[in-house]
Structure 1
Amino acid sequence: MMATEDGRNVNSLKEVWSREENALCADCGEPDPDWASYTLGVFLCLNCSGIHRNISDISKVKSLRMDHWDEGQVQFLMQHGNAVAKATYEAHVPMYYYRPVHTDCQVLREQWVRAKYERKEFTEPGKHPPYSNGLKEGILWKRGRDNGQYLPRRFLLSEREGCLKYFVKQDAKEPKVVVKIDTINATFQPEKTGNPNGLQITYLKENKTRNIFLYHQDGKEIVDWFNAIRAVQFHYLKVAFPVASDQELKSRLTRNFLKEGYMEKTGPRQKESFKKRWFTLDHRRLMYFKDPMDAFAKGEVFIGSDGHGYGVRQGLPTGTQGTFTWPYGITIITPDREYLFTCETEREQQEWIAAFRHVIEQPMTPQEYAIEAYFKLKP
């Protein structure tokens, strides 16, 4: 129920609210926003309205359903709206900058809102924010591989050298690890790490996946690192693939995992008892770990395309001999063997099957054929 001055205000508010441009939250794209900022003229979802409350000197929000709107505020919304705001506050967002969606974590969404309206990072061409110049150095807290303690480590990201390094001591001359920029994936993991600013860096070392977990107590700093990695990757890809479109290159930057969670698995003979493992599906790599925070995967399965002998079936083969606890089975078919998994709930089973089908239905790229060949050569 809208509380407004009179019927005209109600109708005007309904009219501007129903415009197609205002059908999604201006900041995260969630459908049917029912809040608005009467100082910025944007329509917002509940979560983003909460972020706007934290920048109250810039943005003042009200509920479109429950709050009183006076004529001046309604007129301001009529003259603005999401399209006008995007043309102003998102005029020069770099191609590599990650624009969060409503399913993303709080720190990404909050820093996006602050970057747009508070810091005005995208209003003018030629601005040079700290993630844009191809070089970033600073202290991040890194989780120890064996003891699980987070300790400060010096990190250096260099576009010129095409890598990310970290040093155990701040004055160390030699890095502990050098990671090639084209092997890195970075994804925010607040739930897994138990830290709202937790970032998981995944990279390949001798074609094996390695995880490191990082955080910084300052939300802006960790998001700047995330976008700095994307910027360096983007510029690397521009050189490596000069004829590819910017949109194509953008799709190869850091990505969220397609699905993560526990399943049970059995071994190649399919007679062993099923063991509970943490699984991560990173496009065509299905990795499994004893613990979600392990540095190295216990094993990996390559998931190819349906045109090359890969498939997924609901349920387990008749007569499966291994003992399992969870009742909802999945069979992954590859040219070499079948992999058997079980899920605790039917919902988890269906979500995993949908994720596998999403991968299997996509044709493989030349790079993916090379990865498949490596998997086949593995002992």
Structure 2
Amino acid sequence: MSGAEQQKQEKQQKMRALLQELLQRAGNGTCADCGAADPEWASLTLGVFVCQACSTFHKANPNISRVKSVYLDPWQASEVEFMASAGNDAAKAKYEQKIPAFYYRPTHTDCQVLREQWFRARYERDEFVYIEKQEPYSTGYREGFLWKRGRDNGQFLSRKFILSEREGSLKYFNKHDAREPKAVMRIETLNATFRPAKIGSPNGLQVTYLRDNSTRNIFVYHEDGKEMVDWFNAIRAARFHYLQVAFPGASDADLVPKLTRNFVKEGYMEKTGPKQTEGFKKRWFTMDDRRLMYFKDPLDAYARGEVFIGSKENNYTVLSGLPPSTQGNRWPFGITIVTPDRKFLFACETEAEQKDWIAAFQRVINRPMLPQEYAVEAHFKHKP
């Protein structure tokens, strides 16, 4: 190795050592964009350290950000000095000055559209520096057209939607000039969760609401990712203001987790009926908080049935396996849920799925019931 090459190598070792020191600084040990641990990339234009997944958004937008690998790319002294003068905490102070409490901050487990629009909202559109840029989701009223899946034919058709915080509802209309809405969804029971793979669109959103205390689903998307994320945050804003009125003493930290929720778990299992004499049937199951719903098809509007999952203090338990006398299940890995009134029997295709479902049920059962959940439980017990 020549003397010049050795000098160059020593310089890069020194640069890497300095970068390692910077990663130890407060705020730099997690991704500036999604919070994932141990970021391995850095933006030379924004001065932030980001994870591998978030670096893809930076790489795709060189007009906003130029990135280098902390460990693999060569670094100039001036670049390292810039990173030392900036860092994740400084970027947060600059780009996140006025984030509304209801605005959803994606994590590394969230879908692509949420993470990409978070990147654009902060670094490209300056949405959290200028409050007027938040109007699409913060005014309490939003209307527009979304592609909605038809309940019977499965086709996605353009439908007009109106979200009104004042009226406490999200409505959609089957005809563009219709006066009466096809459905009125109360903000009180509204939930929105991105389900791109299930819906078949990268911007697919599943909206659920309660009607007569039973869950209803609608599936929507928009070609424009910003449009769909704006709808999602508008729903969260409406829910936030509803909950502020409903729980006047609650803090933002108490209310924000209640705005929208992802499902605890979804997937196929087999089930049998209450007398356990009929055969097992394959169904799509969705665990939404304490409601275990089952559908013939994942994109059905209505559940075929729902099971309330209470807490261990109220005599709910989950067991691995099925009672010895059980017959009719094709899938070998059984689950028994014991409630105060009866047993529910399910079967999974693989042992891994059985373990995942049992862990999901256990998390819910280990959580004490809230006062309002007793009323939900009572309704399930008195269902005809």
TM-score if structure 1 supplies the norm length? Answer: 0.96
Q: 2:288 aligns with which of 274, 282, 304?
A: 282
- Report Cα offsets for 1:15-71 as digits up to 9, x if no partner: 112335222211112222211111111111112111112321121111112111111
Q: Secondary structure at the match of 2:27?
A: helix
Q: 2:208 matched to which residue of 1? A: 202
- Is 1:267 matched with 2:278? no
| C-alpha contact (below 8 Å) 2:284/2:297 kept by paired residues | yes
Matching of residues 342-353 of structure 1 within 5 Å: 342-353=347-358
Q: 1:336 matched to which residue of 2? A: 341
Q: Secondary structure at the match of 2:138?
A: coil
1:319 to partner: Cα distance: 2.1
Q: Secondary structure at the match of 1:129?
A: helix
Q: 2:129 aligns with which of 117, 123, 134?
A: 123
Q: 1:55 aligns with which of 61, 67, 70?
A: 61
Q: 1:27 aligns with which of 22, 33, 52?
A: 33
| C-alpha contact (below 8 Å) 1:3/1:66 kept by paired residues | no
Q: Secondary structure at the match of 1:213?
A: strand
| C-alpha contact (below 8 Å) 2:16/2:71 kept by paired residues | no
2:276 alignment partner AA: Q
- Partners of 2:291 and 2:272 in 1: CA distance: 18
Q: 2:364 matched to which residue of 1? A: 359
1:3 to partner: Cα distance: 7.6
Distance 1:3 1:157, change over 3 A: farther
- Report Cα offsets for 1:159-208 as digits up to 9, x if no partner: 10000011111121111111110111100011101110000001111111
- Partners of 1:23 and 1:332 in 2: CA distance: 42
- Partners of 1:193 and 1:124 in 2: CA distance: 34
1:127 to partner: Cα distance: 5.5
Ranges in structure 1 where 5+ consecutive residues have no aligned partner: none
- Is 1:211 matched with 2:214? no
| C-alpha contact (below 8 Å) 2:26/2:89 kept by paired residues | no
Q: Secondary structure at the match of 1:77?
A: helix
Distance 1:196 1:126, change over 3 A: closer
Aligned residues: 377
Q: Secondary structure at the match of 1:130?
A: helix
Distance 1:4 1:271, change over 3 A: farther
1:14 to partner: Cα distance: 1.4
Range with bigger deviation, 23-32 or 328-337: 23-32
1:271 to partner: Cα distance: 2.5
Q: 2:181 aligns with which of 175, 181, 197?
A: 175
1:267 to partner: Cα distance: 1.1
| C-alpha contact (below 8 Å) 1:314/1:353 kept by paired residues | yes
| C-alpha contact (below 8 Å) 1:3/1:69 kept by paired residues | no
| C-alpha contact (below 8 Å) 2:204/2:221 kept by paired residues | yes
| C-alpha contact (below 8 Å) 2:140/2:164 kept by paired residues | yes
1:371 alignment partner AA: V
| C-alpha contact (below 8 Å) 2:143/2:162 kept by paired residues | yes
- Partners of 1:126 and 1:136 in 2: CA distance: 15
Distance 1:6 1:32, change over 3 A: closer
Decide which structure has greater helix share. Answer: 2
- Partners of 1:261 and 1:3 in 2: CA distance: 52
Matching of residues 237-252 of structure 1 within 5 Å: 237-252=243-258
Range with bigger deviation, 126-135 or 213-222: 126-135
- Partners of 2:242 and 2:374 in 1: CA distance: 22
- Partners of 2:54 and 2:28 in 1: CA distance: 14
- Is 1:75 matched with 2:81? yes
1:350 alignment partner AA: K
- Is 1:12 matched with 2:15? no
- Partners of 1:350 and 1:230 in 2: CA distance: 33
| C-alpha contact (below 8 Å) 1:3/1:68 kept by paired residues | no
| C-alpha contact (below 8 Å) 1:5/1:68 kept by paired residues | no
Q: Secondary structure at the match of 2:137?
A: coil
| C-alpha contact (below 8 Å) 1:4/1:10 kept by paired residues | no
1:237 alignment partner AA: L
Distance 1:34 1:141, change over 3 A: same
Range with bigger deviation, 285-294 or 69-78: 69-78
Identity %: 63
- Partners of 2:56 and 2:10 in 1: CA distance: 22
| C-alpha contact (below 8 Å) 2:12/2:74 kept by paired residues | no
Matching of residues 84-233 of structure 1 within 5 Å: 84-124=90-130, 128-233=134-239
1:251 to partner: Cα distance: 1.4
- Partners of 1:124 and 1:164 in 2: CA distance: 27
1:5 to partner: Cα distance: 4.1
- Partners of 2:170 and 2:271 in 1: CA distance: 34
Distance 1:4 1:123, change over 3 A: farther
TM-score if structure 2 supplies the norm length? Answer: 0.95
- Partners of 2:9 and 2:167 in 1: CA distance: 59
